[in-house]
């Protein structure tokens, strides 16, 4: 019992509410009105990672959410800091990662009359369309409820980003300590298991049992669900080929014999029944449309969000539930009903072999300067003995080639541009992954992509995180401009010495122009467990505009007219 009359305040209640719910890490940028809140959190034993820009802090929180299935917490100052963080919150929501953006805000009476406060903005209204839920706390006794609602909204059902607005007034307000303590809420079971209806499981198995050319597609929702054991049991029992979406790589190892990744187009175009597990049929899967897809293919879809079904193609067998419970139910009801389709599996194996042989020549070539394939082979060779490493990957060509060339062995170890194909996640994801796992991180970055969050190299050095950043430096967005010409909209400075950036902060820089030195530098950097940056010089003519998605650039219809 506290002494009669003992008081607490909003600062303390926020920190206590977070701790009560197991929050042990906060990512953010300090300033009015949250500086004392961050100091208090740190003094109370919460790890604090201070960033150079809120977008990276938010990205770190988002990937913390994906990697832990608990909400990653980002704290920002008002208006501009909040807006910087909002990009990451929207990206987290789009990718179904649980995250809470907590921003300080100006007092309501000034904001609502637009009286022009320091960093004034109606943040709640701005945030709402960009996240799963948005709440504001106006009284200190509501802090516990606000945080509880934010946690539940972020984690339950389809995970996503939540905005929590804390006014400066609330942070500073006093409350009787006993009443304050009583007002806090420990959230019980924030992401309850959602087992599927038995009839939906039966419908799915009936359809899969009728398939002659079944194919499973695993998405990052399946990776998030931590269902690798159940998924493996189901796929191995049925002998069904599978394709991982990029962040689902490693759910089953990429070298698993049932992986159809090297025969992707053939498998998708010829499957008669597709089992989509925790993957949306969005642009990344060509919306399920021709020419990649066959109009007669039928779908089983497993997803926690029933509104996802039929969004692009009619779903013959929707199964609403969490992926883990769903695969457990599928396994329990399977009873040998879905049989290995040998002819189909062998046809896929044949195509895989052909494609692997076709790609080998390109992969094993050693051009000078390096191209994307040869540099990634050098990276792959250094990673071969390091299955624990977390990979962050962004860029256009660097992303496309990286996804194909770098095999993953473990679930949730590949973190990339995701659903939006966004640039700027690199250093934030790298810090978040290193912070949460304590494991080495290798960020494979296009030179343009790196620039979006490059200043966080200082953050990585300040905390001594075991992050190695490799910059695929081809002097431009997609590729460089020809020597001696003016810079075009896609050009970046020629011959940049990115490795000097990390040297400014005491980290180790490498300048690599061939594959042997790249493999050697990465091996050395990983062994050091210290911050490092490798400037991998790539042929400026290597790389295609927009990588694999050039067709998404709008074309002028006028140009086609005679």
Q: What is the DSSP letter of 557?
A: S
C-alpha radius of gyration, the chain, whole number: 25
Binding mask 524-543 for ligand ADP (x = CB under 6 A): --------------------
Q: Does 224 bind ligand ADP (CB under 6 A)?
A: yes
Q: Does 309 bind ligand TPW (CB under 6 A)?
A: no
- Out of 234, 472, 498, 510, the only residue in the binding site for ligand TPW (CB under 6 A) is 472
Binding mask 102-141 for ligand ADP (x = CB under 6 A): ----------------------------------------
Choose from ligand ADP, ligand TPW, none: what does 280 bind? Cβ within 5-8 Å by kind: ligand ADP
Q: Which window, 301-309, 311-319, 320-328, 473-481, contacts ligand TPW (CB under 6 A)?
A: 473-481
**Residue 177: CB minimum distance to ligand ADP, A:** 39
Three-state secondary structure call for residue 210: coil
**Residue 56: CB minimum distance to ligand TPW, A:** 13
Among residues 85 and 144, whose Cβ is nearest to ligand TPW?
A: 85
Choose from ligand TPW, ligand ADP, none: what does 304 bind? Cβ within 5-8 Å by kind: ligand ADP
Q: Does 318 bind ligand ADP (CB under 6 A)?
A: no
> Do residues 512 and 537 touch, judged by C-beta distance below 8 A?
yes
Q: Scan residues 192-221 and list those touching ligand ADP (CB under 6 A).
A: 219-221
36: exposed, middle or buried (Cβ count in 10 Å: 0-12, 13-18, 19+): middle
Cα 303 to Cα 321: distance, rounded to the nearest angstrom? 6
- Out of 446, 491, 507, 509, the only residue in the binding site for ligand TPW (CB under 6 A) is 446
Three-state secondary structure call for residue 471: strand
* Max CA separation in the chain (angstroms): 88
Q: Which window, 103-111, 244-252, 289-297, 370-378, contacts ligand ADP (CB under 6 A)?
A: 244-252
Q: Does 278 bind ligand ADP (CB under 6 A)?
A: yes
Choose from ligand ADP, ligand TPW, none: what does 86 bind? Cβ within 5-8 Å by kind: none
Q: Does 359 bind ligand ADP (CB under 6 A)?
A: no
DSSP output for 488-543:
-TTB--TT--THHHHHTTT-EEEEE-SHHHHHHHHHHHHHHTS-EEEEEEB-TT-S
Q: Does 447 bind ligand TPW (CB under 6 A)?
A: yes
> Do residues 435 and 64 touch, judged by C-beta distance below 8 A?
yes
Cα 456 to Cα 453: distance, rounded to the nearest angstrom? 6
Choose from ligand ADP, ligand TPW, none: what does 281 bind? Cβ within 5-8 Å by kind: none
Name residues whose C-beta falls within 8 Å of residue 108's C-beta, 6 or more positions apart in sequence: 138, 167, 169
Q: Show the tokens assigned to 199.
A: 């009839």
Q: Does 280 bind ligand ADP (CB under 6 A)?
A: yes
Q: Does 200 bind ligand TPW (CB under 6 A)?
A: no
Q: Does 396 bind ligand TPW (CB under 6 A)?
A: yes
- Out of 156, 398, 419, 515, the only residue in the binding site for ligand TPW (CB under 6 A) is 398
Q: What is the DSSP letter of 255?
A: T
Size of the site for ligand ADP (CB under 6 A): 24
Q: Scan residues 85-104 and list those touching ligand ADP (CB under 6 A).
A: 95-96
Q: Does 507 bind ligand ADP (CB under 6 A)?
A: no
Name residues whose C-beta falls within 8 Å of residue 354's C-beta, 6 or more positions apart in sequence: none
- Out of 393, 474, 515, 519, the only residue in the binding site for ligand TPW (CB under 6 A) is 474
Residue 337 has, within 13 A of its CA and on its CB side, a CA count of 16
Q: Does 477 bind ligand TPW (CB under 6 A)?
A: yes
Name residues whose C-beta falls within 8 Å of residue 7's C-beta, 6 or more positions apart in sequence: 174, 175, 176, 177
Burial 123-147 (b: 16+ CB within 10 A, else e): bbebbeebbbbbbbbeebbbbbbbb
- Out of 29, 38, 279, 532, the only residue in the binding site for ligand ADP (CB under 6 A) is 279
Cα 34 to Cα 368: distance, rounded to the nearest angstrom? 51
Angle at 162 between CA 156 and CA 166, to 5 degrees: 130
Q: Does 424 bind ligand TPW (CB under 6 A)?
A: yes
Q: Scan residues 134-193 and list those touching ligand ADP (CB under 6 A).
A: 158-159
> Do residues 138 and 170 touch, judged by C-beta distance below 8 A?
yes
Q: Does 480 bind ligand TPW (CB under 6 A)?
A: no
| Other residues' Cβ atoms within 10 Å of the Cβ of residue 302 | 33
Q: Does 400 bind ligand ADP (CB under 6 A)?
A: no
Cα 161 to Cα 434: distance, rounded to the nearest angstrom? 21
- Out of 204, 248, 317, 423, the only residue in the binding site for ligand ADP (CB under 6 A) is 248
- Out of 76, 419, 475, 519, the only residue in the binding site for ligand ADP (CB under 6 A) is 419
Q: Does 369 bind ligand TPW (CB under 6 A)?
A: no
Nearest to 276 by CA among 300, 252, 254: 300
Q: Does 68 bind ligand ADP (CB under 6 A)?
A: no
| Interface ranges with ligand TPW (CB under 6 A) | 395-398, 421-424, 446-449, 472, 474, 477-478, 543, 547
| Interface ranges with ligand ADP (CB under 6 A) | 95-96, 158-159, 219-221, 224-225, 245, 247-248, 278-280, 282, 284, 303-305, 308, 322-323, 419
């Amino acid at each position: 019992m506290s002494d009669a009359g003992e008081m607490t305040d909003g600062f303390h209640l926020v920190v206590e509410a977070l701790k009560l719910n197991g929050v042990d890490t906060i990512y953010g940028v300090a300033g009015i009105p949250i500086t004392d809140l961050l100091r208090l959190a740190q003094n109370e034993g919460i790890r604090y990672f201070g960033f150079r820009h809120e977008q990276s802090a938010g990205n770190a929180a988002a990937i913390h959410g994906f990697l832990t299935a608990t909400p990653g917490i980002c704290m920002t100052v008002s208006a501009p800091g909040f807006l910087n963080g909002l990009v990451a919150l929207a990206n987290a929501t789009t990718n179904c990662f649980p995250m809470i953006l907590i921003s300080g805000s100006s007092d309501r009476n000034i904001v609502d009359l637009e009286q022009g406060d320091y960093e004034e903005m109606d943040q709640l209204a701005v945030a709402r369309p960009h996240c799963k839920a948005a709440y504001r706390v106006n009284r200190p006794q509501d802090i516990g409820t606000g945080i509880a609602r934010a946690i539940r909204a972020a984690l339950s059902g389809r995970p996503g980003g939540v905005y929590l607005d804390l006014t400066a007034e609330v942070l500073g307000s006093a409350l009787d300590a006993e009443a304050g303590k009583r007002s806090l809420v420990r959230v019980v079971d924030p992401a309850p298991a959602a087992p599927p209806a038995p009839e939906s499981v039966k419908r799915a198995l009936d359809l899969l049992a009728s398939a002659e050319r079944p194919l499973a597609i695993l998405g990052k929702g399946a990776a998030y669900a931590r269902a690798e054991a159940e998924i493996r049991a189901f796929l191995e029992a049925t002998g069904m080929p599978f394709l991982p979406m990029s962040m689902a790589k490693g759910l089953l190892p990429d070298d698993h014999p049932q992986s159809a990744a090297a025969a992707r187009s053939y498998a998708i175009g010829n499957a008669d029944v597709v089992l989509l597990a925790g993957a949306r049929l969005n642009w990344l899967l060509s919306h399920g449309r021709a020419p990649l897809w066959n109009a007669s293919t039928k779908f089983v879809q497993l997803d926690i969000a029933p509104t996802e079904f039929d969004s692009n193609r009619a779903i013959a067998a929707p199964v609403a539930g969490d992926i883990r419970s769903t695969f457990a139910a599928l396994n329990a009801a399977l009873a040998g009903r879905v049989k290995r389709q040998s002819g189909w599996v062998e046809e896929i194996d044949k195509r895989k072999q052909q494609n692997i042989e076709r790609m080998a020549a390109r992969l094993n070539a050693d051009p000078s300067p390096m191209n994307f394939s040869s540099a990634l082979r050098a990276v792959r060779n250094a990673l071969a003995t390091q299955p624990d490493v977390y990979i962050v990957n962004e860029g256009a060509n660097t992303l496309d080639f990286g996804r194909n060339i770098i095999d993953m062995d473990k679930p949730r170890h590949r973190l990339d541009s995701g659903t939006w194909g966004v640039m700027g996640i690199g250093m934030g994801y790298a810090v978040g992954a290193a912070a949460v796992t304590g494991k080495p991180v290798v960020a494979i970055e296009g030179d343009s992509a790196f620039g979006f969050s490059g200043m966080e190299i200082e953050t990585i050095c300040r905390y001594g995180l075991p992050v190695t950043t490799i910059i695929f430096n081809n002097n431009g967005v997609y590729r460089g401009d020809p020597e001696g010409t003016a810079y075009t909209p896609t050009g970046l400075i020629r011959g940049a010495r990115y490795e000097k950036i990390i040297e400014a902060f005491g980290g180790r820089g490498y300048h690599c122009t061939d594959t042997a030195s790249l493999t050697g530098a990465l091996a050395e950097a990983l062994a050091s467990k210290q911050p490092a940056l490798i400037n991998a010089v790539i042929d400026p003519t290597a790389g295609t505009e927009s990588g694999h998605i050039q067709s998404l650039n709008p074309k002028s219809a006028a140009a086609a007219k005679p």
